[in-house]
Amino acid sequence: MTTPAPGPVRPAPTVRPGSVRRALVAGSVGNFIEWYEFGVYGHVATLIAAHFFTPEGGSGAEGLVKTYASFALAFFFRPVGAAVFGRLGDRIGRRPTLILVICLMTGATTLIGLLPTYATIGAAAPWLLTMLRVLQGLSAGGEFGGAVSIMTECAPPGRRGRYGAWQSFTVALGLLAGAGAAALLATVLTASQLHDWGWRLPFLLTLPLGLGALWLRLRLDETPAFAAGAARETGPGRRPPAGETVRAVALGVGRLTGWSAAGYTFLVVLPSYLQTTLHATFQQALIATAVANLGFAASILPAGAASDRLGRRAVMLTGALLVAVLALPLLHLVRDPGAPVYVKGAALFGAGAAVGLMAGPGPAMLAEMFPTTVRYTGLGLAYALSNAVFSGCAGLIITEAVERTGDADIPAYYAAAACAVSALALLTLRGGVHERALR
């Protein structure tokens, strides 16, 4: 079972308005930092490849593949982080766990900006970078489950979709900030300055951002839902059977597949694809990605609010089907040298918006699949596993497949196939769950 049975439900614990605002801000800020960093890494992937994965005489394409392999490795440690920090969050509370997570995330990201390169310390450089990426993966795995638990458990009745959508919205803001930081550096610095030291600045910026997030989380209250659940945890039948939780996690992965794969294809991998496959300039690739991210950001909050009225399934299924049907025509349009720039921009904006239809209701949909006693762990694992397989591998799979086959349509095939899988999984989502109190 992945949804509560119809019938009487326990009233949701009362949350003070001030606590609701703090929960929303403190939950959002960690997501912003996490996805800002992941966005930056994707946008400067070609520079990372040159400094850490391309020894003298090595090929740029080989270095980029290794860079994305490091990118993917961090994602595969997300489920580990989701399990470890999720267990802590379901045992000792959301607040202390999220404080620990933001400290680990900030430290690892800041150190990337200080790392010596391959030219300085040789083969140790890519290994040190990969170790820091692993720490980032662990912390990111613990971030999502806690942030969504905080937001949805503190949401007023009938607004879980809207409040949960802030998690996805701050993902969009983080990716936009990453793209903006990279674009700003590419504008104000010369190519040699950007290559030599400018790429470090976006990573170092994480330190003051992380300290601000830490201050906010130190002022955070624990959710009444967790406090009530912890008090009842020793009672009979309070924790669901392990098999039920595993089935819910697997189904959650299926429902998130399209969001994960299409999101990373259009919002993170696109810059390197445009540069290496279509020979776009660095600035052109960043602008194109920024437009797609703007579409993503613009649709998230409306999609979350709409899911509170129409249900999660209707809104998310619409987004999955749009990407499955339109991914290939949109990519052909972007590649068409005769298409007007504004038409290409509209296509990219629309692709991002379609992903936003899945991302807006997604956090609330996951929160509703698990009871309070396993919510942090369950939804965190579903999200982390989906991202590990379909997001973290997106750059590696697309780059390697395009290089081996010469088929420039690979990104569209990848996004469309993943969204088709999601559409099937979303058909199992029951109506009316969004109207009930969380278990």
CB count, 10 Å around CB of 246? Answer: 12
Output the pLDDT for position 8. Answer: 41
Q: What angle do CA 225, 10, 2 make, to 5 degrees?
A: 80
Output the pLDDT for position 271. Answer: 67
Domains in the chain with CATH codes: 17-230+241-435 (1.20.1250.20)
Output the pLDDT for position 61. Answer: 59
In sequence order, what DSSP letters do the residues of 27-69 get, joined into one string?
Answer: HHHHHHHHHHHHHHHHHTHHHHHHHHS--TT--HHHHHHHHHH
Output the pLDDT for position 11. Answer: 47
CA distance 432 to 434: 5
CB 47 within 8 A of CB 63: no
Which residues of the chain fall below pLDDT 70? 1-18, 55-72, 229-238, 271-272, 277-278, 282, 392
CA distance 85 to 140: 10
Beta strands in 118-247 (DSSP E): none
Q: Cα 91 from chain centroid? A: 25
Among candidates 139, 152, 69, which has minimal Cα distance to 106? 139
Sign of CA dihedral 226, 229, 234, 236: negative
Q: Letter for the amino acid at 424?
A: L
Q: Cα 86 from chain centroid? A: 17
CA distance 245 to 240: 7
Please state whether 220 falls in left (phi above 0), alpha (psi between -120 and 50) or beta: beta
Of all residues in the chain, the percent with pLDDT exceeding 70 is 87
58 φ, ψ to 5°?
Answer: -80, 160
Output the pLDDT for position 4. Answer: 44
Among candidates 348, 351, 376, 347, which has minimal Cα distance to 438? 376
pLDDT, one tens digit per residue, over 49-72 is 778 877 654 555 566 666 666 666
CA distance 393 to 68: 8
